[in-house]
Structure 1
Amino acid sequence: MPKVRVRQHVNPLSNKYQTPVQPPKWENIYAQPDQPLHLDIGCARGEFLLSMATLQPNWNFLGLEIREPLVEQANAKVSELGLSNLHYLFCNVNNSLKPLLETFRVGTLQRVTIQFPDPWFKKRQVKRRVVQPELIDTLAAYLIDGGEVFLQSDVEAVAVQMCDRFEAHPAFQKQGAETWLATNPLPVPTEREVSTLSHGEPVYRALFIRC
């Protein structure tokens, strides 16, 4: 299937994206809806989750993405492969995360990844970044004790801001003594991660535990 050409940047504050998503019935999505859930926020084309879902059939995977054509293409691939533990949703995570998570059984959400989010470099655009205090509050409310949040970016300022906001929340504890993790603790890298490292550029990573 050819890749869909879409806009690289989508403003989550525009009127088009202010209606929260209607959660699906998870029993119609996943073969075993009570399996541990891995949530990938900003999943782009979904290749990372596709590999993860294949490697870890005892987990369910949910990718959230604001660019609808990418979601449609990713779900088409899931159908082609017959995977019953993976789904992608088109939504604005900043207004849809809580309505989605409250429809899962308590204790289902066990792992969250936020990888290479849109950096929104201009000062007036920083408010468009995905990791806002409200998002962290929601994750703290629904992530299981001992659950993981893995963050990475190739823009140091973005990585620092994400970490600062998680560290400021009493429910999360950063892992490791070093500022950044030297390696990815997950078995699958993202396409952006592979590309960045292949050019000899750094990736800034951090792991937080819900405690």
Structure 2
Amino acid sequence: MLQNEKISTHSKSTGLPRKRFYRARAHSNPLSDAHFPVPISPSHFELSSYYPQIFLSPGHADGKKKIQFADIGCGFGGLLIGLSTIFPETLMIGMEIRDKVTEYVKERIIALRATNNNGDYQNISVVRTNSMKYIPNYFEKGQLTKMFFLFPDPRFKEKNHRRRVISPHLLDEYAYVLGVGGIIYTITDVEELGEWMKNCLEDHPMFEALTKEELQVDPAVKLLTSATEEGQKVARNGGQTFQAVYRRIALSL
């Protein structure tokens, strides 16, 4: 290869970004500070740059729309893409702390929008942020209807359990931004973490488990094991997964 020949980070056939150029560590320290902008309040979270066709295009502009789904630690964006066409009228966002992974998802969405002239994928986007610190900066009280936590970092050491993305303290914040009836979806291939997340949700006064019948008819549940890179890897290896899906309820007085 010539010395000045540029290596393309995107596939020539599909226009999609090549994942190998955006690889990063599997997880990041959620307690560390990173250099990225954070809105001071939800009203300062400018959506037009994330969903330009919906907010800026003539004939499409809808300034009243709000984000309803949040994929926390969205990884390479598989769940967002799977949900996008199932819920085409719903704005959803991935929240990812790793810069290279966030850039990959951004480029992936741009490429999908460009190659789908029917308006698909205009309702999804991604933001680089630390959701364990800044959830209230992005969403108003009761704004969200679904939150996803797919294959989060297990944080095996007991001293690091405080860094887990599902914890009693953080569930208070998630309950704040979830409307009554909103749903939290969790899945992991680590049994101990699965029990931890289930117990945290079960013990919280503002969440109740979905019934088996409700789980069977929920289209989002079907994507938990198939849409993400981690879920596909577990399936290929014949591994087991542990789900906990809970509904936000009104606090009983």
Q: TM-score, normalised by structure 1?
A: 0.86
- When the two chains are superposed, the root-mean-square deviation of aligned CA atoms in Å is 2.5
Question: What residue ranges of structure 2 are gaps of 5+ in the alignment?
Answer: 1-16, 55-61, 114-120
C-alpha change, 1:97 and 1:35, in structure 2 (3 Å) is closer
Q: Alpha-carbon deviation of 1:197?
A: 2.2
Residue identity opposite 1:2 in structure 2: R
Could you tell me how far apart the structure 1 residues matched to 2:36 and 2:77 are? 23
C-alpha separation in 2, matches of 1:191 and 1:183: 23
Which of 157, 161, 164 pairs up with 1:126?
Answer: 161
The equivalent residue for 2:209 is: 174
Of 1, 25, 43, which residue of structure 1 is paired with 2:46? 25
TM-score normalised per structure 2: 0.73
The residue that corresponds to 2:177 in the other structure is 142
Q: Which of 15, 21, 37 lines up with 2:68 in the alignment?
A: 37
Match of 2:236 among 176, 195, 198: 198
Task: Measure how far apart 1:77 and its partner are.
Answer: 1.6
- CA deviation after TM superposition for structure 1 residue 193, in Å: 1.5
What does residue 59 of structure 1 align with? 90
Match of 1:99 in 2: 137
- Structure having the higher Rg: 2
Q: Distance in 1 between matches of 2:29 and 2:66?
A: 33
1:6 aligned onto 2:44: no
How far, CA to CA, are the matches of 1:151 and 1:37 in structure 2? Answer: 17
Identity over the aligned pairs, expressed in percent? Answer: 30
Distance in 2 between residues matched to 1:191 and 1:109, nearest whole Å: 25
Question: Residue 110 of structure 2 aligns with which residue?
Answer: 79
Partners of 1:89 and 1:67 lie apart in 2 by 10
Decide whether the 8 Å contact of 1:38 with 1:61 is kept in 2.
Answer: yes
- SS of the residue aligned with 2:179? coil
Name whichever of 73-82 and 113-122 sits farther off: 73-82
Secondary structure in structure 2 of the residue aligned to 1:147: strand
**Aligned AA for 1:71?**
T
User: Would you say the 8 A contact 2:76–2:229 is kept in 1?
Assistant: no
Give how far 1:21 is off: 2.2
Q: CA separation of 1:107/1:98 partners in 2, compared to 1, >3 Å: closer, same or farther?
A: closer
Question: Contact between 1:64 and 1:93, CA under 8 Å: does it hold in 2?
Answer: yes
CA distance in 1, matches of 2:91, 2:138: 14
- Aligned residue type for 1:76: E
Q: Contact 1:153–1:203 (CA<8 Å) still a contact in 2?
A: yes
SS of aligned partner of 2:161: helix
Distance 2:159 2:34 in 1: 19
Equivalent of residue 115 in structure 1, options 147, 150, 160: 150
- Cα distance, 1:131–1:40 mapped onto 2, change above 3 Å: same
